[in-house]
Homo-oligomer: A and B are copies of this chain.
Amino acid sequence: MAIGETAGRAGMATSALRFYESEGLIRSERTEGGQRRYAREVLRRLAFIRAAQNVGLTLDEIRAAMAALPAGRTPTPADWSRLSAAWRTRLDEQIEGLMALRDGLSSCIGCGCLSLRTCRLMNPGDELAAAGPGANRLPSALRRPGRPGRPAD
């Protein structure tokens, strides 16, 4: 399949496919003239990438996960299934984190304190005293790239 058809089927832009290829997430053959031709299997890889992103993985993590696929043969459904099984735990953790935040919020909403030191909304993980004040920990899917962890001070 040419890049346009592949992208269309996967619901992505062609630029994304080129980008994924440059990042080593997918592979392609080339025609004589240098155009990409994708194997069917790539659709499954793209689906995996999409799904993994929904769960909050970065492309780095996704690449690492896919590196665990069998090298020689085309991956089977079972192979893909095994990979995605790990996501359940991850999702569970994310849900748990959000619920903790919500419950902390409930306990704060009445008082309006928003105290930096004592409010559970500020300090989800209890004290965190060693890491300095302020809430710094979020499930990784919630952490925003532009907001890197404070550098070691």
Contact = CB atoms under 8 A, between A and B. Distances in A.
A82 B92 CA distance: 30
A9 B9 CA distance: 52
A18 to B, nearest CB: 15
A92 to B, nearest CB: 7
A20 to B, nearest CB: 13
Nearest to A43: B116
A118 to B, nearest CB: 11
Nearest to A119: B47
Contacts of A115: 47
B84 A109 contact: yes
A102 B91 contact: yes
A77 B111 CA distance: 7
A38 interface: no
A48 B142 CA distance: 18
Nearest to A114: B47
A124 B47 contact: no
A135 B135 CA distance: 31
Given A9-B116, A47-B116, A113-B77, A135 B54 contact: yes
Rank and list the top 9 A-B pairs by shortest CB-CB distance, nearest first: A11-B134, A77-B112, A81-B112, A11-B133, A91-B102, A47-B114, A80-B112, A51-B121, A95-B98
